[in-house]
A and B are shown apart, each in its own frame.
Chain A
Amino acid sequence: MLDCGLDMTSTLNFLPLPLVQSPRLSKLPSWVLKDGSMFLDKELKECSGHVFVDSVPEFCLPETELLDLSTVDVILISNYHCMMALPYITEYTGFTGTVYATEPTVQIGRLLMEELVNSIERVPKAQSASMWKNKEVQRLLPAPLKDAVEVSMWRKCYTMPEVNAALSKIQLVGYSQKIELFGAVQVTPLSSGYALGSSNWIIQSHYEKVSYVSGSSLLTTHPQPMDQASLKNSDVLILTGLTQIPTANPDGMVGEFCSNLAMTVRNGGNVLVPCYPSGVIYDLLECLYQYIDSAGLSNVPFYFISPVANSSLEFSQIFAEWLCHNKQTKVYLPEPPFPHAELIQTNKLKHYPSIHGDFSNDFKQPCVVFTGHPSLRFGDVVHFMELWGKSSLNTVIFTEPDFSYLDALAPYQPLAMKCVYCPIDTRLNFIQVSKLLKEVQPLHVVCPEQYTQPPPTQSHRTDLMVDCQPPAMSYRRAEVLTLPYKRRYEKIEIMPDLADSLVPLEIKPGISLATVSAVLHTKDNKHVLQLPPKPPQPPASKKRKRVSDDVPECKSLKPLLSGSIPMDQFVQTLEKHGFSDVKVEDTAKGHIVLLQEAETLIQLEEDSTHIICDNDEPLRVKLRDLVLKFLQKF
């Protein structure tokens, strides 16, 4: 199984979880069906023309019905965003296999899960709505609820014990480590350049190579650059995790982010940056580190609020081996690779586990707050939206591309606060994809259907799709795709003693051939050919042998024969071996050799020889060996 991501856009259909009682949210009117029936009034609320489910938010899981997940042997994780559904899979499907991921992926993945669990468990909600999910009811709801897919499969968030159990099933791996799976295939993670520890995977046997390219970046940010060379010579390249915002240039967005931030603060407003606790935030902090002095922001406090803020900042400093060259060089000095260490030391950046506690004492405005969750449905960000939403001095800047910012803002409308959309997605865009594919030249490309056509909102932009030759094969959710590849060979090892016993014959110039009769041993999907054991000497017992004791022991196959028998030489050979009464008759297809005394007849044709004799075994064996002399064995 390749990756195990969680679709969190489902949460956009739910009302936000406020940390402190929000009079506005609790007073929202119930939504009523057109026919006036009220039975959904507890579950659905209306806000500025949008309908939301008033319930614990739920997530859309990967497809679990299509196949029996207990038959999955291995899950390969490409980056920490792509493992968020892991507890659902490892704990509830009978899965008993192994999950492979790099150390940073696991550590940061744990932080993301911890933050998620924490922000949902902190706000216990009595209600868990389910009536609206009824197909008959859902049909009557307004969009987007009406069109939400697989709602019956949506699940509530997992718990920390489940997270820990899931993570304990992960085996840590390093880049370019070759991992043998059951002796049949080898998997290798490669740096994908997108995030700390993010990987692409090579899945290969001796003859076939499948590359899984998921969430890769060619831009130089903090992680180790993408390893492209190792993707070459792939039979199949599976391509996914491309940028969500193909039209935005990450560098430009960072510039816009900084200038909007500076402008707001200069005007006395606060800036809210909804974000994940790891990833782009490191780059943003690094930019601000260089920017704040020149922009005159040195006295503005930066707050990073997350239950895992401290851990995230600390962890980022210890993964030197997973960082880009520049950052590695710093560690060699030894200095912390990320400048946010200095921001913390100089008190410019402060981090808190939540808005409660120390933060409320230290809190000074105007300020800049980094906090989650980017969906604006749970986490400390909900509080700041409620707090700052009414003033047009404040700005919320969206940097994470996973959620539509308009949908995210919907339950907060009407809103006076400024909204700026600066999505920073460093993953591959379509121009980079074509460059990459030209470079690595896979035989076949496989990708999700969305990538094979322009985005629905910009159908004229034919440049916004994967373009390659032969055209990419596409897949959809729950669709089974057969890869156009036929396996022909496998590796087998010949034991040295067997190899010594082989007698190669040159059949054609440059081509030799040896017949091999050997015992095949297969263990852990590794095949070895050994010399056949010597036939055991029959025990010299005096007991009368039973007939069945003599039944041939091995069903050993004799080699195939090839060649033809030259008539004259054959007759000469027969005569040399004491057959004096050889008589030859010509037939339509060849000859018949008669040994009159022995009452034996040999039919010789171009591609066959037939020895017909009475039951005189020594004679037959003698003739057989004479015939074999003229033939080649295969």
Chain B
Amino acid sequence: MPEIKVTPLGAGQDVGRSCILVSIAGKNVMLDCGMHMGYNDDRRFPDFSYITQNGRLTDFLDCVIISHFHLDHCGALPYFSEMVGYDGPIYMTHPTKAICPILLEDYRKITVDKKGETNFFTSQMIKDCMKKVVAVHLHQTVQVDEELEIKAYYAGHVLGAAMFQIKVGCESVVYTGDYNMTPDRHLGAAWLDKCRPDLLITESTYATTIRDSKRCRERDFLKKVHETVERGGKVLIPVFALGRAQELCILLETFWERMNLKAPIYFSTGLTEKANHYYKLFITWTNQKIRKTFVQRNMFEFKHIKAFDRAFADNPGPMVVFATPGMLHAGQSLQIFRKWAGNEKNMVIMPGYCVQGTVGHKILSGQRKLEMEGRQILEVKMQVEYMSFSAHADAKGIMQLIRQAEPRNVLLVHGEAKKMEFLKQKIEQEFHVSCFMPANGETTTILTNPCIPVDISLGLLKRETATGAAPEAKRPRLMHGSLLMKDNSFRLVSPEQALKELGLAEHQLRFTCRVHIQDPRKEHETVLRVYNHLKGVLKDYSVQHLPDGSITVESILIQATAHSEDQATKVLLVSWTYQDEELGSFLTSLLKKGLPQSPP
């Protein structure tokens, strides 16, 4: 029986270095190629030696698909394609293709220039890697080869984030990447059609969370920022350059405008301005409202938000600073955090998920004394707030997506094992489908049961649909045809056509039965009685009395003659072909029982 195999190399019962291998109908596809932010050693990249120990990856993979530009989904790509070696196609959406190399370069700089690592991918490798990328449109069906096709759906997680359908014949898998089921201030909601995949591979970051309404969270966020600023404190919001950052900027920008606030808002430079440019140029990927109004007012041109300079961090007085990266694991956000952490008037707001091992994760789990590089101890006195602004679907959203797509199986990735367990049960209960949650390196096999497509001759099909016109007819109509198999072609044709094509003649098998009945009347009167009797019993059949004195029921012929010796006995000759076997047999036994006594 055909099967689909799935092996996560990353993101199996974990968040980080998303990388999932899928084998479907003889095709091998790699979904995402991410890095892990919690590790600085070999574990930061997926273990590609699982695919092949020696030899080019190109020979083992038909294509690679990147769902969005976050580094835990694309961070290992140059390593994978240039250092391990892969020359096949890499698919991603246009915005992802545009933004991905910039984040990769940024990641490379931090790792190589700041941390001094060698044996890391180079700028040139990023460029060479991006040359292998094929950009796809939403809903475009991309024919990877003759059999394998992929199609992108809107995922709403960040600009350009997409879910992908992978299809071979009538078997299919949908991979969600990261997605968001509720539209936010800058992006729309994820959407899938009822594509009924054999398998849905979904992220499950918020497998157990059901979040309150976005409005409440936004109000809460604004209140906290406002209060801190009012009492002269500084607010640090660690973000990734693209995504939440823009959403929160829009939020603060409109709030500042409305409240006429004066405290400065800064955005750490470099990426940001560029980032906003991307949003302006790819405005078709944002939500409906922004798209509709962009000619009058481009939401990504901010009046109150200025570029940040390192020196500003020491300025007195209140301010709000957006700084990268989002999990406080390196870079500018960490520098500012170290400066401001000691003052209880200040506040750090973590607007998204933090991977284990990062400073962000430590302070969120309540740690107030942090060991920094060089054995320094940093005491955190500033207020620490967590607000879930990350654009992942919550439990409700995941269930909603499953309802939309109607998959036959579900597989969970990109989440914590414990939470997955809970969601898995819920999914199996509510949808009665199997749900899997393999760990990294563990293979899940799903049996599929694909239909077999064959060609049917239009003549046969039309004959069938014409005769079986009433769809809810109580009697299911049996269709009869011959399936001709020649080489690899399967054709269903009418038996007549099959005979003709094979150059064979039909062999007619006919039966004639003599039925004796007692009836003293004249022959034609007997015939009339038989006719009336049959007409009464066989209401759904065509019963005819022909001028030559014979009766037909469908194609069965009945003739009556008087018995040569006994005039009161009539002999009925019932004659039918093998094709009318049931009816013929039924008629003879019916007539043998004799005719009803009193004619109706």
Chain A complexes with chain B = yes
Chain A residues near B (Cβ < 8 Å): 103, 173-178, 188, 206-207, 310-311, 314-315, 317-321, 328, 331-332, 334-337, 487-496, 499, 502, 504, 507-508, 510-520, 522, 527-529, 532-533, 547-548, 550-564, 606-615, 617, 620-621, 624, 627-628, 631, 634
- A-B complex: 3 closest residue pairs judged by Cβ atoms: A493-B451, A560-B495, A634-B495
Interface-side segment among B20-28, B248-256, B584-592: B584-592
The answer to whether the Cβ of B40 comes within 8 Å of any Cβ in the partner chain is no
> Min CB distance, A590 to chain B, in Å?
12
A609 B509 Cβ-Cβ under 8 A: yes
CB pairs A–B below 8 angstroms (15 shown) = A488-B458, A489-B457, A492-B453, A493-B452, A495-B451, A512-B484, A513-B485, A551-B538, A552-B586, A558-B581, A561-B506, A612-B513, A613-B513, A615-B513, A615-B588
Q: Which residue of A lies closest to B94 (CB)?
A: A321
Measured CA separation A230–B447 after assembly (Å): 34
Q: For chain B residues 377-417, which have a beta carbon within 8 Å of chain A?
A: none
How many residues of B sit at the interface, in one of the four size bands? 35 or more
Measured CA separation A614–B541 after assembly (Å): 25
- Given contacts A494-B451, A557-B478, A558-B579, are A510 and B486 in contact (CB under 8 A)? yes
Q: Among the listed A207, A529, A551, which residue makes an inter-chain contact with B540, where contact means beta carbons less than 8 Å apart?
A: A551
A615 B511 Cβ-Cβ under 8 A: no
Measured CA separation A550–B540 after assembly (Å): 13
The answer to whether the Cβ of B418 comes within 8 Å of any Cβ in the partner chain is no
The answer to whether the Cβ of B335 comes within 8 Å of any Cβ in the partner chain is no
Q: Among the listed A315, A488, A547, which residue makes an inter-chain contact with B590, where contact means beta carbons less than 8 Å apart?
A: A547
Residues of A contacting B511 with CB < 8 Å? 610-613, 620, 624
B510 A610 Cβ-Cβ under 8 A: yes
Residues of B contacting A628 with CB < 8 Å? 509
Q: Among the listed A319, A559, A620, which residue makes an inter-chain contact with B513, where contact means beta carbons less than 8 Å apart?
A: A620
Residues of A contacting B141 with CB < 8 Å? 176-178, 188
Q: Which residue of A lies closest to B590 (CB)?
A: A547
Chain B 560-592 interface mask (CB, 8 Å, partner A; 1/0): 000000000000000000111111011011101
Residues of A contacting B97 with CB < 8 Å? 332
Q: Among the listed B94, B480, B491, B585, which residue makes an inter-chain contact with A320, where contact means beta carbons less than 8 Å apart?
A: B94
B498 A315 Cβ-Cβ under 8 A: no
The answer to whether the Cβ of B419 comes within 8 Å of any Cβ in the partner chain is no
Measured CA separation A88–B432 after assembly (Å): 50
Residues of B contacting A502 with CB < 8 Å? 483
Residues of B contacting A337 with CB < 8 Å? 281
The answer to whether the Cβ of B521 comes within 8 Å of any Cβ in the partner chain is no
A514 B590 Cβ-Cβ under 8 A: no
A175 B479 Cβ-Cβ under 8 A: no
B582 A561 Cβ-Cβ under 8 A: no
Residues of A contacting B146 with CB < 8 Å? none
- Given contacts A532-B478, A551-B537, are A617 and B589 in contact (CB under 8 A)? yes
- 9 further interface pairs, Cβ-Cβ under 8 Å (given A511-B484, A551-B540, A554-B475): A177-B137, A315-B295, A328-B135, A331-B98, A488-B458, A490-B455, A493-B453, A558-B580, A628-B509
B582 A552 Cβ-Cβ under 8 A: yes
Measured CA separation A315–B590 after assembly (Å): 80
- Given contacts A176-B140, A520-B464, A614-B514, are A491 and B478 in contact (CB under 8 A)? no
Chain B 110-148 interface mask (CB, 8 Å, partner A; 1/0): 000000000000000000000000010111111000000
A561 B507 Cβ-Cβ under 8 A: yes
A515 B465 Cβ-Cβ under 8 A: no
- Given contacts A517-B479, A617-B585, are A492 and B454 in contact (CB under 8 A)? yes
B282 A318 Cβ-Cβ under 8 A: yes
Measured CA separation A608–B464 after assembly (Å): 27
The answer to whether the Cβ of B54 comes within 8 Å of any Cβ in the partner chain is no
Q: Which residue of B lies closest to A332 (CB)?
A: B98
> Min CB distance, A488 to chain B, in Å?
6
B505 A516 Cβ-Cβ under 8 A: no
Residues of B contacting A515 with CB < 8 Å? 480-483, 495
Number of residue pairs spanning A and B whose beta carbons lie under 8 angstroms apart? 265
- Given contacts A512-B485, A560-B495, are A176 and B479 in contact (CB under 8 A)? no
Residues of A contacting B590 with CB < 8 Å? 547, 550
Q: Which residue of A lies closest to B490 (CB)?
A: A494
Q: Which residue of B lies closest to A315 (CB)?
A: B295
Measured CA separation A611–B573 after assembly (Å): 12
The answer to whether the Cβ of B477 comes within 8 Å of any Cβ in the partner chain is yes
A507 B502 Cβ-Cβ under 8 A: yes
Residues of A contacting B506 with CB < 8 Å? 560-562, 607
Q: Which residue of A lies closest to B456 (CB)?
A: A492
Q: Among the listed B139, B477, B515, which residue makes an inter-chain contact with A174, where contact means beta carbons less than 8 Å apart?
A: B139
Q: Which residue of A lies closest to B274 (CB)?
A: A334
B282 A320 Cβ-Cβ under 8 A: yes
Measured CA separation A337–B486 after assembly (Å): 54
Residues of B contacting A615 with CB < 8 Å? 513-516, 588, 592
Q: Among the listed A177, A332, A552, A557, which residue makes an inter-chain contact with B480, where contact means beta carbons less than 8 Å apart?
A: A557
Measured CA separation A628–B94 after assembly (Å): 66
Residues of A contacting B585 with CB < 8 Å? 617, 620-621
Measured CA separation A321–B152 after assembly (Å): 14
The answer to whether the Cβ of B496 comes within 8 Å of any Cβ in the partner chain is yes
Measured CA separation A251–B513 after assembly (Å): 88
B137 A488 Cβ-Cβ under 8 A: no
B294 A527 Cβ-Cβ under 8 A: no
The answer to whether the Cβ of B450 comes within 8 Å of any Cβ in the partner chain is yes
B492 A492 Cβ-Cβ under 8 A: yes
B137 A175 Cβ-Cβ under 8 A: yes
Q: Which residue of A lies closest to B496 (CB)?
A: A560
> Min CB distance, A81 to chain B, in Å?
21
Residue from the set B142, B513, B537, B586 with the largest chain A CB neighbour count within 10 Å? B513
A613 B507 Cβ-Cβ under 8 A: no
The answer to whether the Cβ of B504 comes within 8 Å of any Cβ in the partner chain is yes
Q: For chain B residues 146-173, which have a beta carbon within 8 Å of chain A?
A: 170
Residues of A contacting B481 with CB < 8 Å? 515-516
Measured CA separation A337–B102 after assembly (Å): 19
Measured CA separation A178–B582 after assembly (Å): 47
> Min CB distance, A289 to chain B, in Å?
19
Residues of A contacting B282 with CB < 8 Å? 318, 320, 331
Measured CA separation A174–B585 after assembly (Å): 61
B284 A492 Cβ-Cβ under 8 A: no
Measured CA separation A178–B112 after assembly (Å): 45
Measured CA separation A533–B481 after assembly (Å): 17
Residues of B contacting A613 with CB < 8 Å? 511-514
Q: Among the listed A336, A495, A532, which residue makes an inter-chain contact with B476, where contact means beta carbons less than 8 Å apart?
A: A532
- Given contacts A336-B281, A489-B455, A494-B454, are A608 and B513 in contact (CB under 8 A)? no
Residue from the set A321, A508, A563, A564 with the largest chain B CB neighbour count within 10 Å? A321
Residues of B contacting A489 with CB < 8 Å? 455-458, 491
Measured CA separation A614–B138 after assembly (Å): 73
The answer to whether the Cβ of B289 comes within 8 Å of any Cβ in the partner chain is no
Measured CA separation A231–B449 after assembly (Å): 33
The answer to whether the Cβ of B468 comes within 8 Å of any Cβ in the partner chain is yes
Residue from the set B142, B284, B457, B461 with the largest chain A CB neighbour count within 10 Å? B284
B476 A554 Cβ-Cβ under 8 A: yes
> Min CB distance, A591 to chain B, in Å?
15
The answer to whether the Cβ of B51 comes within 8 Å of any Cβ in the partner chain is no
Q: Among the listed A174, A317, A490, A556, which residue makes an inter-chain contact with B137, where contact means beta carbons less than 8 Å apart?
A: A174
Residues of A contacting B498 with CB < 8 Å? 513, 634
B457 A548 Cβ-Cβ under 8 A: no
Residues of B contacting A178 with CB < 8 Å? 141
Measured CA separation A147–B295 after assembly (Å): 44
Measured CA separation A508–B502 after assembly (Å): 8
The answer to whether the Cβ of B531 comes within 8 Å of any Cβ in the partner chain is no
Residues of A contacting B478 with CB < 8 Å? 517-519, 532, 554-557
> Min CB distance, A594 to chain B, in Å?
15
The answer to whether the Cβ of B219 comes within 8 Å of any Cβ in the partner chain is no
Residues of A contacting B492 with CB < 8 Å? 492, 516, 529
Measured CA separation A522–B510 after assembly (Å): 34
B477 A517 Cβ-Cβ under 8 A: no
Q: Which residue of A lies closest to B583 (CB)?
A: A552
B495 A559 Cβ-Cβ under 8 A: yes
A174 B484 Cβ-Cβ under 8 A: no
